[in-house]
Amino acid sequence: MLKVNDNYLKLKAGYLFPEIARRVNTFCSEHPDVDLIRLGIGDVTEPLPSACRDAMKAAIDEMGTHAGFHGYGPEQGYPWLREAIAKFDYHLRGCDISAEEIFVSDGSKCDSSNILDILGPKNRIAVTDPVYPVYVDSNVMAGRTGEVEDSGCYEGLSYIAINEANNFEAQIPKESLDLIYLCFPNNPTGAVATKSKLAAWVDYALKNDALILFDAAYEAFIQDNDIPHSIFEIEGSRQCAIEFRSFSKNAGFTGTRCAFTVIPKTLKGRTQDGKSIDLWSLWNRRQSTKFNGVSYIVQRGAEAVYSNEGQSQVKSLVNFYMENANLIRTELIKAGLTSYGGENAPYVWIKTPDGLDSWSFFDLLLDKANIVGTPGSGFGVAGEGYFRLSAFNSRKNVEKAMKRIANL
Ligand code: MLT
């Protein structure tokens, strides 16, 4: 008899966003005329930059000729895109990252789960709480945790609380851990990590022979000049960090799909018998076997992000969403809601009023204001009593949503 992967049965519930979609679909089928405003999943709403569209159109035309046709590309991404990323995202920020250390992919969500393929089963793993649920669920699926405990936490995972008491800063653990997931600017709280905080994490990782998986998918939204955009701005990080980056949120590629993962060639792990081995080679081997690369057309679109035109269009998009974030934050505060984030990230993290739990506040906003947000408890136990609103929507909808909340 065929056996299934029992680890899937340990998962607490459906993945957060499909679960929200299910509840919203039920609500909409019961209230078909409702004017719903979606500030839940962080999915962009503004059109793709014309620089990217033009580059993709030109690439399609090229593909229609014998001379310009492209079949399988390099699994790691085309050199011209990897070189543009290395120059604009790293060299111009003073980071020592080469084009060869950049692996182009179809998403940070996939990469941040697939990376477990090259990591051993016995690592002591830490996530922040609240956290982007993909890090936790992919570890559960891969059998890297025990069962879920009564508290709602998984046995075998370490949780690092980020909350009001510690100003949403992940505190350096006292115990020795092997693998730490960090996401800054943070999803879901919108908090950022200062240079000295990241330096403390790098120091911890170097002392403990640990690996930091650094998710910087929201770096483009940083407004404050002193906040690092990459873990590789920190000295020593080439020996202890992998970074995930994406074109989804800055350039509107959530549907187009393009991202990249940076693995320095100087990054080492150990085999079961204690030998040192570089992670770059393992990931290169994994990608060459299991991945056939991102389409030529999409990579040409991503390359155009780095043209003069692309850079200014992406900047306008980011500014647009950050104006939304600012509007959300200030209007919520005016409405008397304690709110965090939204200053260097497209997410505003709200303390639910009157001691409501996160899902009750979700239902209240859905029923009474016809607004969809994300319940904080969906991001972990410490997210209970919080709620996330995303800045990804039109100005008109954001203004309308804030009026509805003010009138609640
Ligand atoms: C979110 O809403 O947290 C994001 O859209 C998740 C993602 O990027 O996968």
pLDDT at 308: 98
Distance of CA 42 from the midpoint of ligand 1 (Å): 5
Q: Which residues, listed in sequence order, are joined to residue 242 by a DSSP beta bridge?
A: 213
Among 345, 268, 293, smallest CA distance to 106 is for 293
Are the beta carbons of 168 and 159 closer than 8 angstroms?
no
Share of the chain above pLDDT 90, in %: 96
**187 C-beta closer than 6 A to ligand 1:** yes
Mean pLDDT computed over 4-19 = 87
Distance of CA 61 from the midpoint of ligand 1 (Å): 32
Q: Cα–Cα distance between 199 and 191 in angstroms, integer?
A: 17
**41 C-beta closer than 6 A to ligand 1:** yes
**346 C-beta closer than 6 A to ligand 1:** no
247 token code pair = 């074109």
**Angle (deg, nearest 10), helices 395-407 and 308-334:** 10
- Give every CB contact of residue 15 below 8 A, 6+ residues apart in sequence: 133, 137
Mean pLDDT computed over 233-237 = 98
**42 C-beta closer than 6 A to ligand 1:** yes
pLDDT at 204: 98
Q: Which atom of ligand 1 is nearest to the CA of 374?
A: 2
Mean pLDDT, the chain, whole residue set: 97
pLDDT at 144: 97
Mean pLDDT computed over 87-113 = 98
pLDDT at 15: 72
**108 C-beta closer than 6 A to ligand 1:** no
Residue tagged 């309308």 (tokens): 400
Domains of the chain: 13-47+309-406 (3.90.1150.10), 53-307 (3.40.640.10)
